[in-house]
Amino acid sequence: MMTKVAKMICPMCSIGCGLDVFVEDGRVVKAEGMPEHPINQICPKGASLHKLVHHSDRILKPMRKVNGSFKEIGWREAMDVMRDNLATLRATSGPDGLMVVIGDAVGLRETRHIPAWFCKLYGTANMSSTGSFCHYANKLAMNYTIGNYLWGNFRGAKCVVAWGKNYPASVPITAASIKRIVKGGGNLIVVDPRKTELAKIATFHLQLLPGTDAALALAMLNVIIGEKLFEHDFVEKYTTGFPALAAHVVQFTPEWASEITRVPADQIRQAARLYGNSRPAAIGFAATPEHNVNGIQLVRALCSLVAITGNLDVPGGSTYLDHAHLQHPRFPHEIDLSKRIGHAEYPLFSETKDEAQIVLFNQVMEQESPAIKTVICQATNPMGTQPNTNRLRKALARVDTLIVMDVFWSETAKMADLVLPAATIAERVELCDHGYAGSVPLMCLSNRAIDPVGEAWPDWKLWFELAKELGHGEQMPWNDIEECIDFQLAPLGLSVQQLKEKPGGIWYAKRAEKRYQEGPLNTPSGKVELYSQRFADHGYSPLPTYLDPVATLENGEQVIRDYPLVGATGARVLAYLHSQYRQIDNLRHLTPEPVVEIGIATAGAYGVSNGELVRVESPQGAVVMKAQVSGDVMEGFVQVSYGWEGEANGNILTSDTHRDPISGYPSLRWFPCRVRKLSEPGPAIRTGG
């Protein structure tokens, strides 16, 4: 039997490991780490690629809902339906009645620009993505503080701060390097309400109440500035607003923060001294800080810590992400930003991400005549990932036409009018910039291993074909994705052919450091902005600050009397990425079911035993999961599993109205809740509309 090996980049999380994908008789049979690629320590997800590709539950044909049931149709009919719908929509309601939403399977790779190009050609301002609640609040805060995206670069760090990021579950390769640092005598500070694997080997585990991180960061600034542990020369030359910041943080003592965070003041002081005295020291964080009402100000505080201690853009500190400047087509007309959802409410988010803030979708759809008529979801499952599932279900039901393109039948796909079969990464060519996904300036091509299964289309093909059908073929003139990628790569002097010849990738830039020495930063003043005049101009606090989550919640005091526990959802597990991969048997074996993690005393107070089914209730709804009682979980807090369907969907509990005032990001990591034994009477579980 002939075995072919395709060189691919794993799409199953943002790291992008190199894969050797083995093909026999037109079927993917296994995947291993690609020897030529610098990141090749693959995890169980990557090793299960063949099970994803050939899973029997895949959507293999276009399906149209007729009288409540799906019937198979051909692509020609599907294209006719979409062309007629979009042409009529543009002529009657205007192009902004179309909302396009893309997910990580598209959004993490460079062909993610294609749906955005289509939206600009069609004329809608309402392109959106998971960027409405993941990573781009960080980018907004970083852009306005230090001018670019920042990434913890741990190699050579004397001290690592893992802030709300559980590396063994999300980036195992980085977890391994943190463990090596600790073994070699380096220090580790873990900020997490759970005693995680890394917290157990940390010098300091700052076990704080979720939603209070900004208070902790401000207290660390208080100590570092008060005890003069900052880099005077750096502050003098490369920052603006230091005197204002120094005066501002005097009030945020460790004792003040201790009252809010529940972390002992002495521990805060010692951890701040450890970070402030270590050179280089790196702070690593991802989406957790964004998911509460202090998200932007917390990230500004973290960037301020990095900058004033001289840990900005140095190896072993926190470094800027490189990413390639690819080519984009020219568009014949400007989109109308006044029609973009969230542009008026969150102008800095709209500007940074150049997208609609989809968290406002529910309230838009509750208007008498909703502005959005057609929604196309590609590689995304809003019913699993967006806040307040019950409200979202009603909002999606008010859309005239819902189109979903995906690999499997997600909860969102089941609600759709038209469902389109999507090819997996093994069936399509992709361009992967590790600057974006892995913080190194390395460009790779993920090659196609097999022909599309069934009638699946690669994601890009939908947009190329729709553009042609709607008269925009001239601006999207490519016959296949390789022509398009050559167009994208032109400014780098690279081509698809060159990338095919170098499966381990081509370095498109040298790793740089201390880029603030080379010229102005990409902030309004060209310096690190500890004080942001742009924030002040928009009516936001120009200095990092702390908002009490209860005070920002409508009827907050009453709500927390009724729902006295703090809940959070969104924590990663190694087996899955968001709502994906639960169909794959060996991954399901690793994490077979959703759980609510709860401390021993808290469980005792509610009469809950380990392994018992419980109902978790919030003002938004209720879920049922098994209780996992553990001394590793902070008391008064519950961690609710994320990404599951039906009555175990953690986003039933989250609010879409309790938002960061600058980014619009929902407070997914802080919501009031309570727990009941399932045997106790309680309100009926509502997972439906």
Nearest-CA neighbor of 412 among 403, 400, 423, 422?
A: 403
Query: In the bound complex, what is the minimum distance in angstroms from residue 440's beta carbon to ligand SF4?
Result: 14
The one-letter code for the residue type at 456 is A
Looking up tokens 């759970």, which residue turns up?
194
Query: In the bound complex, what is the minimum distance in angstroms from residue 288's beta carbon to ligand SF4?
Result: 18
Which is closer to ligand SF4, CB of 305 or CB of 432? 432
**Subset of 470-509 contacting ligand SF4 (CB under 6 A):** none
Q: Count Cα neighbours of 216 within 13 Å in the Cβ-side half-sphere.
A: 31
Q: Taking a C-beta distance cutoff of 8 angstroms, is the pair 622, 685 a contact?
A: yes
End-to-end CA gap in the chain? 53
Which is closer to ligand SF4, CB of 134 or CB of 140? 134
Nearest-CA neighbor of 649 among 611, 687, 612, 676?
A: 687
Is residue 107 involved in binding ligand SF4 (CB under 6 A)? no
Among 7, 37, 45, 659, binds ligand SF4 (CB under 6 A): 45
Among 20, 46, 420, 655, binds ligand SF4 (CB under 6 A): 46
Which is closer to ligand SF4, CB of 17 or CB of 565? 17
Helices (H) and strands (E) counted in the chain, each on its own, are 27, 27
Which is closer to ligand SF4, CB of 16 or CB of 441? 16
Which is closer to ligand SF4, CB of 168 or CB of 646? 168
**Subset of 340-359 contacting ligand SF4 (CB under 6 A):** none
d(CA 506, CA 486): 14
Judging by DSSP bridges, how do beta strands 318-320 and 281-284 pair with one another? unpaired
Query: In the bound complex, what is the minimum distance in angstroms from residue 607's beta carbon to ligand SF4?
Result: 39
Is residue 50 involved in binding ligand SF4 (CB under 6 A)? no
Query: In the bound complex, what is the minimum distance in angstroms from residue 520's beta carbon to ligand SF4?
Result: 35
Which is closer to ligand SF4, CB of 17 or CB of 396? 17
Which is closer to ligand SF4, CB of 16 or CB of 650? 16
d(CA 272, CA 266): 10
Angle at CA of residue 595, ends 628 and 383, nearest 5°: 165
Which is closer to ligand SF4, CB of 10 or CB of 282? 10
Which is closer to ligand SF4, CB of 170 or CB of 545? 170
Looking up tokens 């913890």, which residue turns up?
152
d(CA 167, CA 658): 27
Q: Taking a C-beta distance cutoff of 8 angstroms, is the pair 212, 218 a contact?
A: no
Query: In the bound complex, what is the minimum distance in angstroms from residue 429's beta carbon to ligand SF4?
Result: 17
The distance between the two most distant Cα atoms of the chain, rounded to a whole number of Å, is 73
- 157 three-state secondary structure: coil
Of the candidate spans 22-30, 43-51, 265-273, 481-489, the one that interacts with ligand SF4 by CB under 6 A turns out to be 43-51
Among 8, 43, 249, 566, binds ligand SF4 (CB under 6 A): 43
Is residue 643 involved in binding ligand SF4 (CB under 6 A)? no
Q: Taking a C-beta distance cutoff of 8 angstroms, is the pair 198, 190 a contact?
A: yes
d(CA 243, CA 550): 31
Is residue 286 involved in binding ligand SF4 (CB under 6 A)? no
**Subset of 359-398 contacting ligand SF4 (CB under 6 A):** none
Which is closer to ligand SF4, CB of 31 or CB of 245? 31
Q: Which residues contact 294 (CB under 8 A, 6 or more apart)?
A: 211, 213, 214, 545, 546, 547, 549, 660
Which is closer to ligand SF4, CB of 45 or CB of 527? 45
Query: In the bound complex, what is the minimum distance in angstroms from residue 12's beta carbon to ligand SF4?
Result: 4
> What x/- string results for residues 3 through 42 when contact with ligand SF4 is judged by CB under 6 A?
-------x-xx-xxx------------------------x
Which is closer to ligand SF4, CB of 12 or CB of 571? 12
Query: In the bound complex, what is the minimum distance in angstroms from residue 42's beta carbon to ligand SF4?
Result: 4
Residue nearest to ligand SF4 (CB): 46
Q: How many CB atoms lie within 10 A of CB 139?
A: 20
Which is closer to ligand SF4, CB of 16 or CB of 280? 16
Q: Taking a C-beta distance cutoff of 8 angstroms, is the pair 644, 608 a contact?
A: no
Q: Taking a C-beta distance cutoff of 8 angstroms, is the pair 283, 161 a contact?
A: yes
Task: Show the DSSP H helices in 123-171 as ranges.
Answer: 136-145, 167-170
542 alpha carbon, distance to own chain's centre: 26
Query: In the bound complex, what is the minimum distance in angstroms from residue 88's beta carbon to ligand SF4?
Result: 41
Q: Residues in contact with ligand SF4, total (CB under 6 A)?
A: 10
Q: How many CB atoms lie within 10 A of CB 583?
A: 16
Angle at CA of residue 531, ends 140 and 215, nearest 5°: 75
Which is closer to ligand SF4, CB of 17 or CB of 426? 17
The one-letter code for the residue type at 201 is I
Query: In the bound complex, what is the minimum distance in angstroms from residue 40's beta carbon to ligand SF4?
Result: 8
Looking up tokens 């004329």, which residue turns up?
123
Which is closer to ligand SF4, CB of 16 or CB of 384? 16
Query: In the bound complex, what is the minimum distance in angstroms from residue 186's beta carbon to ligand SF4?
Result: 23
Q: Taking a C-beta distance cutoff of 8 angstroms, is the pair 503, 212 a contact?
A: no
Query: In the bound complex, what is the minimum distance in angstroms from residue 45's beta carbon to ligand SF4?
Result: 4
Query: In the bound complex, what is the minimum distance in angstroms from residue 15's beta carbon to ligand SF4?
Result: 4
d(CA 357, CA 572): 23
- 427 three-state secondary structure: helix
Query: In the bound complex, what is the minimum distance in angstroms from residue 49's beta carbon to ligand SF4?
Result: 8
Query: In the bound complex, what is the minimum distance in angstroms from residue 14's beta carbon to ligand SF4?
Result: 7
Nearest-CA neighbor of 10 among 42, 38, 54?
A: 42
d(CA 305, CA 230): 9
Is residue 108 involved in binding ligand SF4 (CB under 6 A)? no
Query: In the bound complex, what is the minimum distance in angstroms from residue 595's beta carbon to ligand SF4?
Result: 22
Residues that bind ligand SF4 (CB under 6 A): 10, 12-13, 15-17, 42-43, 45-46
